[in-house]
Chains A and B, each alone.
Chain A
């Protein structure tokens, strides 16, 4: 079966979720672009957007409309040539509106799994619960006569496990997007010895059309991305706890968040990133990883506790950040959650004190935003970390420990054969997490 035929009927499971909606968007655009080719005008393309929440599916419509408009606005020159034979479409505005219609009419929303029974390819982007994933895959397999392929967006469950438990016989691979899928360039591709070669070829072509960078990961729970991220989180929590002799919990969280953002020149502090991903998602990923990797440390009392208190982070449907361990106002961190008081404590109440304890940033410090696009960033970062090394402040010490630990996590991923190359770890962190530098570096050696 060729690429275009395979793309004629697709289902996204969990289509209204954070990842599912992004996958749906990119796939809908790719399908519409195919359909708009003259040779495909007579073909039908259908993209089933399945989710358990009707309300979320309604929200999905608005999301798609806004996002497709943005995509169309960026390629209106190309679209003018696509619609060149349609004499009614003259202005950019008319052409963009038509394109939005053409993309949206491919998408059929549904709360019923039956919509997936005609699909040749199913993207699975539901919550990180392997039993549920297996159950849904089995149900589709039992009712679908198209010998369907499964691309799972799981960020933690081993593919061979899903393959065996759902009895898919190699028609599955891991195709793990990063959040948000429309923006992040990275896709982690996970295949097993049993994965059908046709799927792998299709995955590469599809990724290329979506202009994604593929990094292969071996089939170990958590793969490269969460293999690094979850351990990075646990280190951050541990570091915060170690500060609690000299400061309160909320101050310590603020301090480590600041170290892992400003001092480390990362796009977000570690606690903000946890909120961004969702504390519930982090918990579920650890629940998958811990038994499969046999690492008892892959668990956090703090995350479990926050979840039990219904403090979960994640995003609203408009993309804005929900409160988690931190709370936000217009995207800025304004308070830290205190699990004892069960309430948020304003950062303004203790910021000056905590900043003073951390000490100042090195004079050569530049914010992440200006480093990320700088072609000479290696030099900038070397100079920066060299200055930091010579400083005797709490902030510089915490930074050093954090950077070294992050490197050790990276090296462990290679030692544990999650990946064969150190470069892959760095690429994942650079393209999936937007870091300005890979964790496996020599800034502190």
Chain B
């Protein structure tokens, strides 16, 4: 890469929604500006204020419908007065909006138009009931497909993928793997105080995960535990050049280096060629790893976009960690658990930590930054010295926009 790129000063608000003690569907909740402010100010504090920030970027999917708010870029000066009259924009790529926010920051650094970018991701979704939220989220697909889609459009899309996967590779094993994925997600979330499932006290998680899907009340092939929940939250992180890092006075040891990235899209108007594969994710992950000059085996921990358990399994296969149809065994055998060889989603991922759609991509980066700098608290895992890399794969829609980033430990 033309310049070295770093990230530091990550921060997550809580992921608010069912499961959190603070959440009550009938009580007033913080608005989107609260989340932007909390996350933005926390990151600014860690980089010694806003004065050195050159620009801001907000990743957000559908505030225009969830909370009837557009023009999110102009919230930036609300975070800090010194951001007034600086550049700021909002970017969108469905649930990969957070990832695109990071990419936007990275590109500004590479183009030498900025040394310090405040990258945010935010979504507030509990403003509407889930049945109407499904309409909003369906905007991540092609609207022409909406009429014939499931009432819960995206769960319906991934239920279809799960159905094809069952048929091709066997239902029982797949459902077992989904249940283990769910169990890992909740167990990891219990170690992270900002996670939506932090207080989840269920004893037999695998059994809950195995709850038989009920097409009458939900989808044909997935149950509600196979799905990420409805979440409000924001995440923020600073994207910087080497000079930027010096300017803000943060030592390199407190930062991670971005050594590879990829942004890829596929045609929104077409259905996947093979429902058992996340082709775009596969290509983006490969490109990011190639850019970094490493293979997936060099990566110590990965944050994958598990909006649904089945997406988690398909991500494992897309990353090349298992052959098609064998992602199930890979997960069942414990490879992706926090004690496994490739710990994934160590603070719960989308299913355990939460999925404030536009915020998720940034949240993934924050988690990897925490893990590679030893700041993950109780959720901290070991990063082997011969594998000093972390990776994030953020997905928008049904494998239509993918942001993959590879990070390296600096010390």
Q: Which residues of A contact B (CB under 8 A)?
A: 73, 76-77, 80, 84, 87, 90-93, 96
Contact = CB atoms under 8 A, between A and B. Distances in A.
B129 interface: yes
B131 interface: yes
Contacts of B216: 77
Interface in B118-150: 129, 131-132, 134-135, 138, 143, 146-147, 150
A91 B146 contact: yes
A90 B146 CA distance: 7
Nearest to A83: B147
B229 to A, nearest CB: 18
Given A80-B151, A92-B151, A73 B146 contact: no
A92 B147 contact: no
Contacts of A77: 150-151, 216
Interface string B206-229: 000000000010000000000000
9 contacts: A76-B151, A77-B216, A84-B147, A87-B147, A91-B135, A91-B146, A92-B131, A92-B134, A96-B131
A74 to B, nearest CB: 9
Interface of B: 129, 131-132, 134-135, 138, 143, 146-147, 150-151, 216
* Most chain A CB neighbours (cut-off 10 Å) among B143, B147, B150: B147
A75 to B, nearest CB: 9
Nearest to B218: A77
Nearest to B150: A77
A96 B129 CA distance: 13
Contacts of B129: 73
A204 to B, nearest CB: 24
A90 B143 CA distance: 9
Nearest to B134: A92
A77 B149 CA distance: 10
A84 B147 CA distance: 8
A21 to B, nearest CB: 23
B150 A93 contact: no
A127 to B, nearest CB: 34
Nearest to A96: B131
B135 A93 contact: yes
A80 B129 CA distance: 17
B66 to A, nearest CB: 13
Contacts, number: 24
* Most chain A CB neighbours (cut-off 10 Å) among B131, B150, B151: B151
Contacts of B134: 92
A90 B132 contact: no
Contacts of A73: 129, 131
A356 B138 CA distance: 58
B24 to A, nearest CB: 13
Contacts of A90: 143, 146-147
A347 B2 CA distance: 75
Nearest to B133: A92
Nearest to B216: A77
B132 A93 contact: yes
A88 to B, nearest CB: 10
Nearest to A73: B131
A87 B151 CA distance: 15
A80 B156 CA distance: 13
A405 B138 CA distance: 58
Given A76-B131, A92-B131, A92-B135, 4 more contacts: A84-B147, A87-B147, A91-B138, A96-B131
Contacts of B138: 91
B68 to A, nearest CB: 14
Contacts of B146: 90-91
Contacts of A76: 131, 151
Contacts of B132: 92-93
A96 B151 CA distance: 11
* Most chain B CB neighbours (cut-off 10 Å) among A87, A90, A92, A93: A92
Contacts of B131: 73, 76, 92, 96
Across the A-B interface, the 8 shortest Cβ-Cβ residue pairs: A91-B135, A77-B151, A76-B151, A90-B147, A73-B131, A92-B135, A93-B132, A90-B146
Contacts of A80: 151
Contacts of A91: 135, 138, 146
A21 B146 CA distance: 36
A92 B131 CA distance: 7
A73 B134 CA distance: 12
Nearest to B128: A93
Contacts of A96: 131
* Most chain B CB neighbours (cut-off 10 Å) among A87, A91, A93, A96: A91
A96 B131 CA distance: 10
B137 to A, nearest CB: 11
Contacts of B143: 90
B128 to A, nearest CB: 9
B100 to A, nearest CB: 25
Nearest to B156: A77
Nearest to A86: B147
A92 B136 CA distance: 10
A174 B297 CA distance: 74
A319 to B, nearest CB: 14
A331 to B, nearest CB: 13
A314 to B, nearest CB: 24
A137 B136 CA distance: 51
A149 to B, nearest CB: 33
A211 to B, nearest CB: 13
B2 to A, nearest CB: 45
A279 to B, nearest CB: 30
A202 B144 CA distance: 44
A305 B134 CA distance: 55
A84 B151 CA distance: 12
B382 to A, nearest CB: 42
A96 B128 CA distance: 14
A84 B149 CA distance: 11
A93 B128 CA distance: 11
* Most chain A CB neighbours (cut-off 10 Å) among B134, B135, B150: B135
A73 B135 CA distance: 13
B145 to A, nearest CB: 10
Nearest to A91: B135
A92 B150 CA distance: 10
B357 to A, nearest CB: 17
A182 to B, nearest CB: 19
A61 B301 CA distance: 57
B45 to A, nearest CB: 40
Contacts of B135: 91-93
A86 to B, nearest CB: 9
B134 to A, nearest CB: 6
A235 to B, nearest CB: 37
Contacts of A84: 147
B146 to A, nearest CB: 5
Nearest to A81: B151
B144 to A, nearest CB: 9
A228 B150 CA distance: 47
A91 B132 CA distance: 8
A80 B134 CA distance: 13
Contacts of B147: 84, 87, 90
A84 B150 CA distance: 12
B398 to A, nearest CB: 18
A384 B143 CA distance: 57
B162 to A, nearest CB: 18
